[in-house]
Structure formats: C-alpha cells, structure tokens
Amino acid sequence: MLSRRELLALGIGVPSYSAAVPGETHQATGCKAGEMTTDSVRFWLRRTASSQRLANGIVRKGHAKEARLLSPDTGTEKLEGSASGAAGYIRVVYRGRQSGATAWLDVNEASDYAVQTTLSGLRPDTVYAYAVETRAARNGRIDGELTGAFRTLPVASAPAPVQVAMLSCQMYCHMDRPDGFHIYESIQRDAPRFFLSCGDNVYYDNEDPIANSEAVARYHWQRMYSLPTLVDSLRSMGGYWQKDDHDTLSNDAWPGFVDKKMVPLTFAQGQSIFRQQVPAPSAPAPMYRTVKAGSDIELWLPESRDYRSPNDIPDGSAKSIWGDEQKHWLKSSLQASKATWKILVNPNPIVGPDRQTKNDNHANIGFSYESREIRQFLKNNFDGNVISVCGDRHWQYHSVDPESGLHEFGCGAASDEHAGGTPGLDKLRHKFHRVRGGYLSIEVSRGESGTCALRMRHRDVRGVTVHEHTFSRKA
C-alpha cells in the first residue's frame, strides 16, 4: 500500500470516499489491482448503474440460524448494499515512469458488468498512478474517474525491504463501523507493499440472504466491496486473493458437495464466480501460485478447495486437501526457491490446534496423514526458513509444532465481533493466543551485519501490535 505522502506526490488525493468518488463515477464497487509481478498488474473493473451503493434498501443481516433465503419476488437490486451493474465501456489510464492506457473494454450482463485486464511492460519496484474511466456508449461522454495507485514487485535477484498485511474472515453482519471495517483503515495507515486476503471474503451459506443463485452470490460481493472503507483502501493497495469454503459455496465444502439449502447454486458455480469477482489467474490456469518480492521473501499461495478429497472419507495416503499435482508443485517449487524466507500462505491451518469437532483442515484428524507428510517434508528439507501463516480460524495465534518445529501464525478474523470458536489455549503449541479480531503484518529487512530479519506482528483491528516474533538468519 502506498502512503498518503506517496499518493500526494503522484498527484492523487486521498480524501474521504464521498469526495474521492464524486457523483458520476459509476463505480460503486470500486476497483481492485492485484496479481502484481515485476512488470505487470491485473485489474478488476466494474461499471455500476449508480455511483453509490443502495443505502436505503431492504436490510438483510441475519447470521447462522437467522440467515434466510431471499423470497422469489425480491430482487437483489432492492437490498441494502446492492450495486447493480450497468452496460458500457471501461478502461485504465496509468502513469509513473511511463504512461499509457488500455483499450476501452466492453462490460455487460454476462460478466456481471465486470472485466479484468492486465497491464504489462511495466518497470520493477515502481509506483504507478491510475485512473479508471467508464462511459455508457463507445463514443459517449466519459463518466467521473476513480483514481488510485499500485506498486510493482522488486526484482527477484535483489534484496528489498517488504511489508505485507494479511487478513481473513470478513462477515458483513459483523462489520465494526457503519462504513465497513476498522481493519482496512488500519492496514491503509500501516502502508504495506501489498496485502493478502486469504479466504472467506464473503459468507454465502450462513449470512442473510443465503446464496441459492448466482445473482444472490454476486450480491454478497457487491455488498461487501462497495463498503466505503474497502473501496477507499483498495485504491492505494494492490493485493492477492485466495478463496476458502464460505466464498466458494458453504462451510467445509469440497468439489461436488451439495448444500441442500443453497440449491441450485453449485460448487462449480462458486469456483467460477470467485474468479469473476477478484483479480485472478485466467482459467484454466490454476489458482495456486507464488509471489516473489525480492530475494529475501517468497510467498506460496496454495489452493485449498479445488482439489480436495471429501472430508468424510477415511484418512490415509490417498486423502488430500491439495491433490497430487499441486502438492508436487508445492514441494518442488519450495526446494527450487533461493528466497531467504519462504512463507506458506494457507487459507487453513497446518499446525493449529483446531477444534476436534472439525474435520476440514490439516490441523484436524481427518487430514492428519497429509499434514504429517508436509510437516516432515519441511523439517527434512529446510533449515527453519519456511513459515506457515493462515486464515480461517477466528482467533489470532502463534503456534509451534512439537514434532517438526514448524511455526504457524493465524491472522484472526476481520472484526472483534467475528472472533470466537477457539479450542482454547494449548500450552504445548501456543506461543500466543488471542480471541479477538485483527490482521498479520509480515516484514523482511536486511541488517548491517548481513542478516535478514523476518518480523511477524499480530495487530488488532485498530492497527496496534499485540504480539511480535522476530526470526533472523544469514542472507
């Protein structure tokens, strides 16, 4: 994320959402810059019928047992927080050490009035300002613009100080301020180079209204990402998105899983909608990938839903969360990497501990065979420079696996109200355990002695550091 000073130097004001997005932007759901490399960035763009989300619509904020289906005669466009799309054209104009613009791109109902486009040929470790422009007709008047900035990654061969912010588990009915979440404003002040959203961006299955159609599923994304705190912070921050169970279909789901209350919405539709709603690799490319930000840090972003075995089959060598192909990629790419620190960014925990009533992740007994396999692989092949970080759990923690010595940091939920569900303090594994919301800050930096420090900070929703652990090794 870029600081206020950097944005102002680029000529990009960072006033409040209402001032930054005047009445004619037709971009109520904002824009998302993501998937940055040393020479490219991928944009998610959408044209909306109005410049603002619907503020006075029908309010649906039930959770769990209060969550209900939407009645057939109530369209999502009538609901509070909706941001109906509008046909037209959209483009990105950018400037930095070089300038340019994309072609005008057509947006229509088939793609939920959204489009993704990649800017290539950029310079490494460079800040670019951009403006997203829309218009209703190909040669029509241009609507008001939405401005922002992003930063490309540093080259993989050179050291660079890097800070990353990681968050997870944001539930609409548990937001902690009228315009969204404190955590986004806190991350914006923290000014990381980029952020990671590691799953459960929305909750299709246990938040009102329950998603039983593509239209209702898309409404969940509209309602969440039109919140002013999200729109404003994402203007100055590039990111990478992962999905988990609730933003694919339903709790603990796997391919082919059917949730009767959500029929006819399918798991496969959830997979497709996710790629449509965030900057993502174009299908059929897999969602698993790495992010190399200089020579000192590389992050692995595995895909935890697309290839998994059913949770309820017996555990053993054939049962997997990652699948054989992805697991081979994970092992071989970890071994090939020369990064000083290797960060495994998993939507689900490997060390935990988690509740014994769960059977969905590597910290549960149902996937203990593969969990032990990966932990032993890391122990046998790496000298403690692989660190596990995860979302999904609604508490913050730092654990150490007693068998392999693997350190794991859970970032926690996006708000205090959404925190809970922990099995409690585990004195054998836990170095830190806190049942509140917050995010994880991951930072690498070089010292004068030639060592490279990896600093892991748990921050609360207001950005205050509540736990810190530093690793150090020769670079």
Other C-beta atoms lying within 10 Å of the C-beta of residue 62: 15
The answer to whether 287 touches 341, Cβ cutoff 8 Å, is no
DSSP secondary structure string, 279-333? --PPTTS-S-EEEE-SSSEEEEE--SSTTPPPTTSPPSTT--SS-HHHHHHHHHH
pLDDT band at 98 (very low <50, low <70, confident <90, very high): confident
pLDDT band at 19 (very low <50, low <70, confident <90, very high): very low
pTM of the model: 0.94
What's the rounded mean pLDDT across residues 338-350?
97
Gap between the Cα atoms of 456 and 442, Å rounded: 5
What's the rounded mean pLDDT across residues 311-335?
98
**Cα 86 → chain centroid:** 26
Q: Mean pLDDT for the chain? A: 94
The reply to whether 162-201+278-474 shares the fold of 4-151 is no
CATH of domain 4-151: 2.60.40.380
pLDDT band at 475 (very low <50, low <70, confident <90, very high): confident
Q: What would the pLDDT profile of 195-211 be if each residue is shown by its tens digit?
A: 999 999 999 999 999 99
Domain-by-domain residue ranges, the chain? Answer: 4-151, 162-201+278-474
- In the chain, the percentage of residues whose pLDDT exceeds 70 is 95
What's the rounded mean pLDDT across residues 325-333?
98
CATH topology of domain 162-201+278-474: Purple Acid Phosphatase; chain A, domain 2 (3.60.21)
The answer to whether 343 touches 298, Cβ cutoff 8 Å, is yes
Written in H, E and C, the secondary structure of 358-411 is CCCCCCCHHHHHHHHHHHHHHHHHCCCCEEEEECCCCCEEEEECCCCCCEEEEC
| Number of residues that make up the chain | 475
* Closest by CA position to 248, among listed 289, 311, 166, 303: 303
Amino acid (1-letter code) at residue 197: S
Q: Which tokens is 357 given?
A: 């009533």
Q: What would the pLDDT profile of 169-184 be if each residue is shown by its tens digit?
A: 999 999 999 999 999 9
